[in-house]
Chains A and B, each alone.
Chain A
Amino acid sequence: MEIHRLFTNRLFTPALFVALCLVSTATNPYLQYLLNLILVYVVVAVGQMIILGFAGQFAFANAAFMGIGAYTVALLGSHFGISYWVSLPAAGVLCAIVGCIVGLPALRLRRVYLGLMTMGFAELCYWLFLHWRDLTLGTDGVKVEAPTFFGIRLDTDDAAFFVIVIATFAMVLLAKAILASRYGRAFIAIRENELVARCNGINVPLYKTLAFTLSGFYAGIGGGLFALAVRFVAPDTFNLLQVVLHFAIVMVGGVGTLSGALLGALFLTMLPEVLRGTQAAQEMMYGVLLVGVIVFMPKGVAGYLIERRILPPEVLVHGWREEVRERDGIPQADAKPSTAE
């Protein structure tokens, strides 16, 4: 039973897009809101996955970038009346730059030190969101203006979905393309063994910086989409819990896989909602489930599914699918010679 063939099929992505759109027509605003959040967290998770899962850098500033992205969109809209279609990419670019800057001291730091430093940066950002009241309005929070599309105000959850789903698909496909290129392979080489990577001619500082910049970009766009989904940006959203959430999404989803980002976002956005019924025991159950999933699926949900051949292995080389099809005797239009990983 080769379920994983379903996912390598060329029509999978458009079919998934359509399926999501269909699901979206049948949902009430609460479920639509959750679906929007899941998609937003997919984008954010890709950012964390790039830096942690692919480049192997213990960097936890993703939550800070997400916050900066969300605040950028919210403040540009409310203070300066700048349209969402401009502020969203602006958020991405700004956070890419911030990511680059945060990456600089990271060039010297490893593991626990890098983790602590980036966590310190995340907390610093949280403190600024909270106390730089002149800019961020502090705990008052910032209401996000609904974007307008050719005169139609997109102020419902369904309308937000329209924007979010397109953005998410675009971002994920972009990530796929980048990770399947030599950049992605360089990240993985750095993750596996920095010294060997350097010996193989990879400019480690450059690619590390690139990874940080890229993850900043994704988290920034994710933050901007988050602002659209929730329509309200507040400091408390971007505290240490958010840092932990991004980490958990990557680990539970499956380190080093793109599908891990998707599955982790799905699982960890739905988990607190599903646990609502347990009231006071919610927190404990959340912890128990987190530990349980990690202990029984150390490679994450995606890793587990890949091992069980339910998901296809993620091979980051352009054209490997063509080779697999050739091997399996499926006729195809343009065969490219390539090396499997």
Chain B
Amino acid sequence: MTEFVILVTAGLANGSLYALVALGLVLIYKAQDMVQFGFGEIFMAGAFIGYSAYAYLGLSYPASFLLAILAGGLVGLLIERGLIRPIAHFPHMTLVMVTVGLSFMLKGIFRIPFAQDVYTIPPMFGGSPIIIFDLIFASQNLLTTATSLVLTLGLLLLFAFTDLGKQMRATAENMFGAQYSGINIGLVFATTWGLASVMGAAAGILSAPITALFPDMGTRILIRGFAAAVLGGFGSVPGAIVGGYLIGVIETLFGFYVATALIDLSAFLVIMVVLIFWPRGLFGTKEITRV
């Protein structure tokens, strides 16, 4: 029984990061009806920018964290304004292709300085794990989960209570209607990308002490973000969050009770099974086809 609980807590810790990534993906999807295939590389960029701040500028971990998410958000903003906005009228397939090209670009850019090794940031709290009621928590994991929750909550509050948040929701609901109501949808799009990229970069720098840093780290997390979003119902913000934690737990449980060889495949299996049997996911709404 304790094993089950340990697996679930470890899974939730991993899942908190998947939730952030899924959140970013779903935000962009809701606003612009497109999938950002380069999002894994935003995650990677956040991790490396944070690492560079820590290792080369000598900043502390909290300072590096802040720098990483601000830089990540800025990168997202620049991409939206500079690359996506001018071609926003292109067909969806083309926009998706552009994000794919973007992912190659970013990966290639970071490969140049960081090709030689797999880098690490030591955990902020090393030392022995915290044990509460037989449950084992690594202090670093607690920090990660807590930060992820804070960010997620912040975002939800933003949506619910601020004007900007309401405008974002309106634009996601109906772009033309929002435009006619006087909402500056350009600003909304830019903010969406910025916020989504902040989430992604945050996940990156949060994962840095737990995982290792290498230019391909984005691909793995992107798949899990997709699986989480699909499980939660692509297009649902609470779904993405819940989906993220679920995927984390499914992975560890799968690894222990079925086979460790299948851990890497579990996200894809989830995607396939959910889409074949319950395409709407947990929180998704039925698509209405308009003639």
- Residues of A in contact with B (beta carbons under 8 Å apart): 52, 58, 105, 108-113, 115-117, 119-121, 123-124, 127, 131, 195, 240, 244, 247-248, 251-252, 255, 280-288, 290-291, 294-295, 298
Q: How many A-B residue pairs have CB under 8 A?
A: 112
Q: Are B279 and A287 in contact (CB under 8 A)?
A: no
Q: Are B272 and A286 in contact (CB under 8 A)?
A: no
Q: Are B97 and A251 in contact (CB under 8 A)?
A: yes
Closest 7 CB pairs of A and B: A284-B108, A287-B104, A287-B105, A283-B108, A290-B101, A291-B101, A117-B275
Q: Are B101 and A109 in contact (CB under 8 A)?
A: no
Q: Determine the residue in chain B with the shortest Cβ distance to A105.
A: B276
Q: Are B272 and A110 in contact (CB under 8 A)?
A: no
Q: Are B98 and A287 in contact (CB under 8 A)?
A: no
Q: Are B268 and A120 in contact (CB under 8 A)?
A: yes
**What residues of chain A lie closer than 8 Å to B275, measured between beta carbons?**
105, 109, 113, 116-117, 120
Q: Which of B102, B104, B269 contacts A124 (CB 8 A)?
A: B269
Q: Are A195 and B291 in contact (CB under 8 A)?
A: yes
**What residues of chain B lie closer than 8 Å to A294, measured between beta carbons?**
94, 97-98, 101
Q: Which of A124, A244, A281, A288 contacts B100 (CB 8 A)?
A: A244
Q: Determine the residue in chain B with the shortest Cβ distance to A290.
A: B101
Known: A127-B264, A288-B105, A291-B83; 8 extra A-B contacts, CB below 8 A, are A113-B234, A116-B275, A121-B272, A124-B268, A244-B100, A251-B97, A290-B97, A291-B102
Binary CB contact string for chain B from 211 to 254 against chain A (1 if under 8 A, 0 otherwise): 00000000100010010001000100000000000000000000
Give the distance in Å from the alpha carbon of A285 to the alpha carbon of B109 in the complex: 9
Give the distance in Å from the alpha carbon of A284 to the alpha carbon of B269 in the complex: 31
**What residues of chain A lie closer than 8 Å to B137, measured between beta carbons?**
none
Give the distance in Å from the alpha carbon of A339 to the alpha carbon of B291 in the complex: 28
Given contacts A281-B112, A284-B109, A298-B94, contact A109 B279 (CB under 8 A): yes
Q: Which of A113, A116, A127, A284 contacts B112 (CB 8 A)?
A: A284
Binary CB contact string for chain B from 260 to 275 against chain A (1 if under 8 A, 0 otherwise): 0100110011011001
The B interface, classified by DSSP as helix, strand, loop or mixed, is helix
Q: Determine the residue in chain B with the shortest Cβ distance to A117.
A: B275
Q: Are B104 and A290 in contact (CB under 8 A)?
A: yes
**What residues of chain A lie closer than 8 Å to B93, measured between beta carbons?**
52, 58, 251, 255
Q: Determine the residue in chain A with the shortest Cβ distance to B86.
A: A295
Give the distance in Å from the alpha carbon of A282 to the alpha carbon of B109 in the complex: 10
Is B103 part of the contact surface with A, judged by Cβ < 8 Å?
A: yes
Given contacts A280-B115, A287-B103, A294-B101, contact A124 B265 (CB under 8 A): yes
Q: How many residues of B contact A (CB 8 A)?
A: 43
29 inter-chain pairs at a CB distance below 8 angstroms, sorted by A residue, are A52-B93, A105-B276, A108-B279, A111-B92, A117-B272, A120-B271, A120-B272, A120-B275, A121-B272, A123-B265, A124-B265, A127-B265, A195-B291, A247-B97, A247-B100, A251-B97, A255-B93, A280-B112, A283-B111, A284-B112, A286-B108, A288-B101, A291-B83, A291-B102, A291-B105, A294-B94, A294-B98, A295-B83, A298-B87
Is B35 part of the contact surface with A, judged by Cβ < 8 Å?
A: yes
Q: Which of B102, B103, B108, B234 contacts A112 (CB 8 A)?
A: B234
Give the distance in Å from the alpha carbon of A131 to the alpha carbon of B263 in the complex: 13
**What residues of chain A lie closer than 8 Å to B91, measured between beta carbons?**
255, 298
Q: Are A123 and B268 in contact (CB under 8 A)?
A: yes
**What residues of chain A lie closer than 8 Å to B287, measured between beta carbons?**
110
Closest chain-A Cβ to B36's Cβ sits at a distance in Å of 11
Give the distance in Å from the alpha carbon of A252 to the alpha carbon of B223 in the complex: 24
Closest chain-A Cβ to B250's Cβ sits at a distance in Å of 14
Given contacts A113-B230, A120-B275, contact A284 B97 (CB under 8 A): no
